[in-house]
Amino acid sequence: MPKNIRIKPHHFVDIVTYYGADSLRLTPHPYGHDWHVVARRVVEEPEATLQLEFGMDDICAPCRHNLGTDCDDVIDISSRPTAPASKQAYNLLLDQRWCARLGLADGQRLPAAEMLARLAALEGSLDAIYAEMASGANDERLRNLKAGARKLLARAGYPARGPSG
Protein backbone atom coordinates (compact mmCIF):
# COMPACT_ATOMS: atom_id res chain seq x y z
CA MET A 1 0.00 0.00 0.00
CA PRO A 2 1.52 3.36 -1.04
CA LYS A 3 2.26 5.83 1.73
CA ASN A 4 1.25 9.47 1.71
CA ILE A 5 2.92 12.00 -0.52
CA ARG A 6 3.26 15.37 1.21
CA ILE A 7 3.05 17.80 -1.70
CA LYS A 8 2.45 21.44 -2.47
CA PRO A 9 -0.58 21.74 -4.77
CA HIS A 10 1.42 23.60 -7.42
CA HIS A 11 4.12 20.89 -7.35
CA PHE A 12 1.48 18.26 -8.12
CA VAL A 13 0.05 20.47 -10.88
CA ASP A 14 3.52 21.01 -12.37
CA ILE A 15 4.26 17.28 -12.40
CA VAL A 16 0.97 16.53 -14.14
CA THR A 17 1.50 19.40 -16.60
CA TYR A 18 4.99 18.23 -17.56
CA TYR A 19 3.67 14.68 -17.91
CA GLY A 20 0.96 15.94 -20.26
CA ALA A 21 3.57 17.78 -22.33
CA ASP A 22 5.79 14.66 -22.44
CA SER A 23 8.55 16.69 -20.79
CA LEU A 24 8.61 15.22 -17.26
CA ARG A 25 12.24 14.75 -16.20
CA LEU A 26 13.00 12.13 -13.60
CA THR A 27 16.65 12.94 -13.00
CA PRO A 28 18.25 14.52 -9.91
CA HIS A 29 18.50 18.32 -9.79
CA PRO A 30 21.61 20.23 -8.66
CA TYR A 31 19.60 21.71 -5.74
CA GLY A 32 19.30 18.21 -4.28
CA HIS A 33 15.52 18.32 -3.96
CA ASP A 34 13.42 15.21 -4.56
CA TRP A 35 11.39 16.41 -7.57
CA HIS A 36 12.44 13.31 -9.54
CA VAL A 37 11.55 10.94 -6.69
CA VAL A 38 8.12 12.45 -6.00
CA ALA A 39 7.29 12.84 -9.71
CA ARG A 40 8.03 9.15 -10.24
CA ARG A 41 5.74 8.29 -7.31
CA VAL A 42 2.93 10.44 -8.73
CA VAL A 43 3.20 8.58 -12.04
CA GLU A 44 3.64 5.09 -10.59
CA GLU A 45 1.41 5.20 -7.48
CA PRO A 46 -2.07 6.40 -8.48
CA GLU A 47 -3.45 4.94 -5.26
CA ALA A 48 -1.19 7.14 -3.11
CA THR A 49 -2.81 9.62 -0.78
CA LEU A 50 -1.77 13.21 -1.22
CA GLN A 51 -1.36 15.38 1.85
CA LEU A 52 -1.51 18.95 0.61
CA GLU A 53 1.18 21.10 2.13
CA PHE A 54 1.73 24.86 1.90
CA GLY A 55 5.09 24.58 3.71
CA MET A 56 7.98 22.25 2.96
CA ASP A 57 6.85 19.09 1.21
CA ASP A 58 8.54 15.81 0.21
CA ILE A 59 10.15 17.55 -2.77
CA CYS A 60 11.59 20.37 -0.65
CA ALA A 61 12.83 18.22 2.24
CA PRO A 62 16.40 17.52 0.98
CA CYS A 63 16.79 20.73 -1.05
CA ARG A 64 19.82 22.90 -0.35
CA HIS A 65 17.49 25.93 -0.16
CA ASN A 66 15.39 24.37 2.62
CA LEU A 67 16.18 26.19 5.86
CA GLY A 68 13.83 24.02 7.93
CA THR A 69 10.57 25.92 7.59
CA ASP A 70 11.74 28.50 5.06
CA CYS A 71 13.09 28.46 1.51
CA ASP A 72 15.84 30.95 0.67
CA ASP A 73 15.57 30.52 -3.11
CA VAL A 74 14.45 33.31 -5.45
CA ILE A 75 12.64 33.18 -8.78
CA ASP A 76 13.42 34.84 -12.09
CA ILE A 77 10.76 37.55 -12.30
CA SER A 78 11.64 38.68 -15.84
CA SER A 79 8.59 36.88 -17.28
CA ARG A 80 6.40 37.73 -14.26
CA PRO A 81 7.49 41.18 -13.03
CA THR A 82 4.65 41.56 -10.51
CA ALA A 83 5.49 38.29 -8.72
CA PRO A 84 7.39 38.31 -5.45
CA ALA A 85 11.07 37.42 -5.92
CA SER A 86 10.90 35.03 -2.97
CA LYS A 87 10.17 31.52 -4.23
CA GLN A 88 8.50 30.71 -0.91
CA ALA A 89 6.14 33.71 -1.17
CA TYR A 90 5.27 33.04 -4.80
CA ASN A 91 4.72 29.32 -4.20
CA LEU A 92 2.38 30.12 -1.32
CA LEU A 93 0.32 32.38 -3.61
CA LEU A 94 0.09 29.62 -6.21
CA ASP A 95 -0.86 26.99 -3.63
CA GLN A 96 -3.56 29.18 -2.11
CA ARG A 97 -4.97 29.96 -5.56
CA TRP A 98 -4.96 26.29 -6.62
CA CYS A 99 -6.72 25.24 -3.43
CA ALA A 100 -9.36 27.95 -3.86
CA ARG A 101 -9.95 26.89 -7.48
CA LEU A 102 -10.19 23.17 -6.66
CA GLY A 103 -12.04 23.48 -3.34
CA LEU A 104 -9.12 22.09 -1.32
CA ALA A 105 -7.23 23.16 1.81
CA ASP A 106 -3.76 23.11 3.33
CA GLY A 107 -3.29 19.82 5.20
CA GLN A 108 -6.12 18.07 3.36
CA ARG A 109 -5.64 14.45 2.35
CA LEU A 110 -7.12 13.00 -0.82
CA PRO A 111 -6.35 10.21 -3.27
CA ALA A 112 -4.07 11.27 -6.11
CA ALA A 113 -6.70 10.00 -8.56
CA GLU A 114 -9.28 12.38 -7.06
CA MET A 115 -6.97 15.35 -7.54
CA LEU A 116 -6.26 14.17 -11.09
CA ALA A 117 -10.00 14.00 -11.79
CA ARG A 118 -10.45 17.57 -10.53
CA LEU A 119 -7.63 18.73 -12.81
CA ALA A 120 -8.97 16.83 -15.82
CA ALA A 121 -12.35 18.54 -15.34
CA LEU A 122 -10.98 22.10 -15.15
CA GLU A 123 -12.82 24.65 -17.25
CA GLY A 124 -11.89 28.20 -18.08
CA SER A 125 -8.61 30.02 -17.86
CA LEU A 126 -5.70 29.64 -15.46
CA ASP A 127 -5.01 33.38 -15.63
CA ALA A 128 -6.35 34.00 -12.09
CA ILE A 129 -3.98 31.38 -10.68
CA TYR A 130 -0.96 32.56 -12.65
CA ALA A 131 -1.99 36.24 -12.50
CA GLU A 132 1.62 37.41 -12.77
CA MET A 133 2.05 35.81 -16.20
CA ALA A 134 1.16 37.59 -19.43
CA SER A 135 -2.48 37.21 -20.48
CA GLY A 136 -2.98 34.14 -22.64
CA ALA A 137 0.30 32.59 -21.51
CA ASN A 138 -1.56 29.85 -19.70
CA ASP A 139 -3.52 28.32 -22.58
CA GLU A 140 -0.85 25.73 -23.36
CA ARG A 141 -0.32 25.09 -19.64
CA LEU A 142 -4.03 24.25 -19.26
CA ARG A 143 -3.99 21.94 -22.31
CA ASN A 144 -0.94 20.06 -20.99
CA LEU A 145 -2.35 19.90 -17.46
CA LYS A 146 -5.64 18.39 -18.61
CA ALA A 147 -3.84 15.99 -20.98
CA GLY A 148 -1.51 14.88 -18.18
CA ALA A 149 -4.39 14.32 -15.77
CA ARG A 150 -6.30 12.26 -18.34
CA LYS A 151 -3.21 10.21 -19.24
CA LEU A 152 -2.42 9.47 -15.59
CA LEU A 153 -6.03 8.50 -14.86
CA ALA A 154 -6.03 6.19 -17.89
CA ARG A 155 -2.68 4.73 -16.84
CA ALA A 156 -4.25 3.91 -13.47
CA GLY A 157 -7.29 2.34 -15.13
CA TYR A 158 -9.76 5.12 -14.22
CA PRO A 159 -12.12 6.92 -16.55
CA ALA A 160 -11.38 10.63 -17.11
CA ARG A 161 -13.73 11.49 -14.21
CA GLY A 162 -11.54 9.59 -11.76
CA PRO A 163 -12.16 6.75 -9.30
CA SER A 164 -15.81 7.57 -8.64
CA GLY A 165 -16.98 7.87 -12.13
Q: Which residue has the higher pLDDT, 134 or 151?
A: 151
Angle in degrees, CA 162, 164, 165, rounded to 5? 70
Which tens digit of pLDDT belongs to each residue from 16-58?
A: 999 999 999 999 999 999 999 999 999 999 889 999 999 999 9
Which tens digit of pLDDT belongs to each residue from 110-132?
A: 999 999 999 999 999 999 999 99
Which tens digit of pLDDT belongs to each residue from 54-108?
A: 999 999 999 999 999 999 999 999 989 999 999 999 999 999 999 999 999 999 9
What are the residue ranges spanned by the domains of the chain? Answer: 5-155
Q: Mean of the pLDDT values across residues 126-140?
A: 89
Residue 1: pLDDT band (50, 70, 90) is: low
Q: Mean of the pLDDT values across residues 128-155?
A: 92
Residue 134: pLDDT band (50, 70, 90) is: confident
Cβ pair 13, 65 in contact under 8 A: no
pLDDT confidence of residue 165: 53
pTM here? 0.94
